[in-house]
Structure 1
Amino acid sequence: MSTEIISANRPAATDGLPAERRKWAVAAIFTALTMASLDTAIANIALPAIAADLRAGPADAIWVVNVYQIAVVATLLPLAALGEIVGHRRIYLGGLLLFTLASLACACAWSLPSLLAARALQGLGASGIMSVNTALLRYVYPGRLLGRGIGYNAMVVATAFTLGPTIASGILAVGPWPWLFAVNIPFGLAAMAIGARTLPTTPKATHAFDFPAALLAAGCLGLFMLGVGGAAHHERTALVVIELVAAVLLGWILIRRQADHPAPVLPMDLFRRPLFALSTATAICSFGVQGLSFVALPFYFEDILGRSQVETGFLITPWPLVVAIMAPIAGRLSDRYPAGILSSIGLALLGVGMALLAMLPANPYIADIIWRMALCGCGFGFFQAPNMKALMSSAPAGRSGGASGIVATARLVGQTTGAALAALCFGLAGRDGATISLVLGAAFAAVGCVMSSLRLLAREQ
């Protein structure tokens, strides 16, 4: 590696890193992001094998996925806030180290409780990676190329999402399930070695970290995830209501506690900026569409259109594949055109694609399904990078950590809410719930399109 890109202790560049150092920094960032993004899909595929090997029932084994997701969502905002104080680079590398060590612990787990403990730690590490991922890009790329960098970021996530099941199936074909976690170790070590030498040192805030506020934020988001997930899995209504009410109460206490804080853990100061608030709401709507569709589509293809499991996997692929193609294109365009225009076009295409999927005839040709799925992927990919850039750019540089935390939180909250709404549709309408979910997804896209368009009238405060 060239010695001119080594000094990680020098002050952060005011407008991105030099080109050679930037390449290595991006390699470290995207390697870690790929690992964190792959892990949910990989664990989903391995659940039957894990349950059989550890002698656990399906209801208990599902916690291998749930505990990871809860740990990620609950700690995103606290870690993003901590990153503004100690530096985004430290949070990122610390998260990557914890994720790598926890992957080793997962591979060595001897029982379900030991695996769940390791997965919780792995989720905490993934949160460290995701919470400041976008904030680091703001210091790695110069302002004129930020949209391009964010587009590549979206492409990495979409590609990991597309290839996750295939990679997991390939590993399970040649080895036991612990290999799924062990494979993270060499990549994690390589990313840490590169990142420690090339990631920029970002400015640090002077205020102290509010630990009680961090605990309130973690409790609020963790209980929200438990409540929404419990509703999706038809747990007792009273328990779900208690969890959601407790989440709202903790959120209210958090907002009251940090009303005058210069950089609150839940960044209410940023939500006073119209562009930031509209970009966040638009993101939640769009990822709600994704959550609805990826729960409903397998049932829609198999139960309503009569396709096999193999065909269903093939038919779902065009969506994330086209997202991976469109994301860098939209990212480049976002360096020249307003997000209010680009993202609105993307959400309009996504809404039309969802509506067309819901209106498919009883026996459609495969090509009829594929071009509609590709249209959805085109719309989602065209939306994502410009919206993410708008969200990050509407926040001051000193609040990049809070904005980055909201980027990841909006994605996971939207996906979780969409999945829960899809489960509710199935509970109320049976097999017709799949079609209703697609229609609801089209409605979410329409609402998001309207909010995105409002950014053309908004003025940053």
Structure 2
Amino acid sequence: MELQAADGLPDRKRRGAVLAIAASIALAVLDSSIANVALPSIGADLKIAPSTSILIVNAYQIAIIMSLLPLASLGEKLGYERVYCGGLLLFIISSFFCATAQSLEGLTLARVAQGLGAAGLMSVNTALVRIIYPQALLGRGMGINALVVASSTVLGPGIASGILSVAHWPWIFAINIPIGIAALLLALRYLPRTPRRSGSFDAISAVLSAATFGMLMTGVQQLTSGAASALPVLLLLGGLSSGFALWRRQAGRAAPLLPVDLLRIPIFALSIATSVGSFAAQMMTFVTLPFFLQHDLGRSQVETGLLMMPWPLALILVSPLAGRLSDRVPAGLLGGLGLLLMAIGLALLAFLPVDPSAFEIGWRMAMCGVGFGLFQTPNNRTLLSAAPRERSGGASGMLSTARLTGQTLGAALSALALRAGDGSQSHLGILTAAVIAAAAALISITRLRASPA
């Protein structure tokens, strides 16, 4: 690893570093969804109920969101590349233990460790992109990053199905090992050494941050799953109390673990709010659409999967273009127009004609994907650029935290909407997502007055 370049890495070294990041981030994103497809097989093998098997998925997600900000702060003190490579090594080792697990307890613990490793990657991912690319090409770098995430999200279920068609479920975890080792060798060779901040790591704040996000996310999941006990309320109150204590502890610190200093920058705070809203709208739509297409429109499961594909495919196609545009067009404008396009597409989906054709559904889905693609890369670029270079780790951690928070809130809102309608009238959930996307578009446009992109 070489010392950080003044403004990005030379072309050859940049390509090696980007390949290392792309391969490892793809694995982390894939493992957010790849296990879902295998849950029935895992449940049958380990003799656990379907409802209990969800723990295998939740353990991974909650471990990630609990550790993002602490690891981002650690990256600023130890170096982003060290946290990244350490996270990748932990991800590889824990994937082995996932593949060899013989019980629910063993698999869940391995998934928690795997989530911690994935958080090491996600927490400093965009901070490394900022260092690898020259400032003039940062939008392109963020576009490639968005493309990798979008592609991995799309391919996850298909890859899992392909593996399960020829092999047993442990192989969905074992496949991470050779790919992860190759990515680690590339990372060790090409990732640059990054500046270190002086000072000790704030372990108390790290514990408070983990408690805040862990209890809040678990409480939301429990509440929307219909849990009748007082546990969800206690978890939410505990999360809010920890969050308040964390906020008070971080106030006035030079480089706080919870980046309250960055949240005081108007364009950064607006970009975070836009990100939370947009991902909440996207997740709410993705959860609600299968019910809408199957229950309301009478489509089969296979047809539902195919009809949902235009959205992520359009996103994949648009992300590189949005990355190039974001180097020249203000993100407030580009992101606002993209989210407005997404909101219109969602409204059109909610008010489809009676007995719509596949084309009528498909072009509306593609419209939503184009809109989200125009928003995502410029928003991420602006959010990262708004932070001082030495606080890139905090900005990177907040970017991932905003995405996961939005997705969790979107899933929770979907569950509440579906329960309120008893599974029917699911088009109201899509219409609600359209309203959220429109609100996020307005927030995005206000960034034009806050600061230039």
TM-score scaled by length of structure 1: 0.97
What is the rounded CA distance, in whole Å, between the counterparts of 1:298 and 1:437 in structure 2? 12
Match of 1:206 in 2: 198
For residue 215 of structure 1, the aligned residue among 207, 219, 231 is 207
Give the alignment of 1:162-181 within 5 angstroms.
162-181=154-173
Shift in CA distance, 397/386, structure 1 to aligned 2, threshold 3 Å: same
Give the alignment of 1:338-377 within 5 angstroms.
338-377=330-369
Does residue 332 (structure 1) correspond to residue 324 (structure 2)? The answer is yes
CA deviation after TM superposition for structure 1 residue 234, in Å: 1.1
What is the rounded CA distance, in whole Å, between the counterparts of 1:51 and 1:422 in structure 2? 25
What is the rounded CA distance, in whole Å, between the counterparts of 2:389 and 2:247 in structure 1? 22
Matched AA of 2:89? L
Q: Is the 8 A contact 2:296 2:425 kept in 1?
A: no
What is the rounded CA distance, in whole Å, between the counterparts of 1:409 and 1:16 in structure 2? 25
Tell me, which stretches of 5 or more residues in structure 1 are unaligned? 1-7
Give secondary structure in 1 for the equivalent of 2:94: helix
For residue 444 of structure 1, the aligned residue among 418, 436, 440 is 436
Match of 1:271 in 2: 263
Does residue 15 (structure 1) correspond to residue 20 (structure 2)? The answer is no
Match of 1:378 in 2: 370
CA deviation after TM superposition for structure 1 residue 258, in Å: 1.6
Q: Is the 8 A contact 1:425 1:433 kept in 2?
A: no
For residue 81 of structure 1, the aligned residue among 64, 67, 73 is 73
Identical columns (%):
52
Give secondary structure in 2 for the equivalent of 1:282: helix
Tell me, which stretches of 5 or more residues in structure 2 are unaligned? none
Does residue 405 (structure 1) correspond to residue 405 (structure 2)? The answer is no
Matched AA of 1:32? S
Matched AA of 2:189? R
Match of 2:217 in 1: 225
CA deviation after TM superposition for structure 1 residue 311, in Å: 0.1
What is the rounded CA distance, in whole Å, between the counterparts of 1:231 and 1:135 in structure 2? 34
Give secondary structure in 2 for the equivalent of 1:204: coil
What is the rounded CA distance, in whole Å, between the counterparts of 2:145 and 2:58 in structure 1? 25
CA deviation after TM superposition for structure 1 residue 431, in Å: 2.7
Match of 1:93 in 2: 85
Does residue 141 (structure 1) correspond to residue 133 (structure 2)? The answer is yes
Give secondary structure in 1 for the equivalent of 2:387: coil
Match of 1:3 in 2: none
What is the rounded CA distance, in whole Å, between the counterparts of 2:432 and 2:338 in structure 1? 17
Does residue 185 (structure 1) correspond to residue 180 (structure 2)? The answer is no
Match of 2:50 in 1: 58
Q: Is the 8 A contact 1:96 1:192 kept in 2?
A: yes
Match of 1:153 in 2: 145
What is the rounded CA distance, in whole Å, between the counterparts of 1:362 and 1:380 in structure 2? 26
Does residue 434 (structure 1) correspond to residue 426 (structure 2)? The answer is yes
Give secondary structure in 1 for the equivalent of 2:424: helix
Shift in CA distance, 239/208, structure 1 to aligned 2, threshold 3 Å: same
TM-score scaled by length of structure 2: 0.99
What is the rounded CA distance, in whole Å, between the counterparts of 2:122 and 2:425 in structure 1? 33
What is the rounded CA distance, in whole Å, between the counterparts of 2:229 and 2:196 in structure 1? 45
CA deviation after TM superposition for structure 1 residue 433, in Å: 4.8
Does residue 261 (structure 1) correspond to residue 246 (structure 2)? The answer is no
Q: Deviations over 1:58-96 (max 9, x none)?
A: 121000000000000000000001100000000000000
What is the rounded CA distance, in whole Å, between the counterparts of 2:268 and 2:92 in structure 1? 33
Does residue 247 (structure 1) correspond to residue 239 (structure 2)? The answer is yes
Match of 1:453 in 2: 445
CA deviation after TM superposition for structure 1 residue 260, in Å: 1.6
Matched AA of 2:302? V
What is the rounded CA distance, in whole Å, between the counterparts of 1:446 and 1:324 in structure 2? 22
For residue 19 of structure 2, the aligned residue among 27, 47, 52 is 27
Matched AA of 2:70? P
What is the rounded CA distance, in whole Å, between the counterparts of 1:179 and 1:294 in structure 2? 27
What is the rounded CA distance, in whole Å, between the counterparts of 1:212 and 1:362 in structure 2? 57
Matched AA of 2:147? M
Give secondary structure in 2 for the equivalent of 1:264: coil
CA deviation after TM superposition for structure 1 residue 238, in Å: 2.2
Matched AA of 1:283? S
CA deviation after TM superposition for structure 1 residue 233, in Å: 1.2
Matched AA of 2:422? G
What is the rounded CA distance, in whole Å, between the counterparts of 1:419 and 1:104 in structure 2? 30
Match of 1:5 in 2: none
Matched AA of 1:316? M
Does residue 124 (structure 1) correspond to residue 109 (structure 2)? The answer is no
Match of 1:388 in 2: 380
Does residue 48 (structure 1) correspond to residue 40 (structure 2)? The answer is yes
Matched AA of 2:75? G
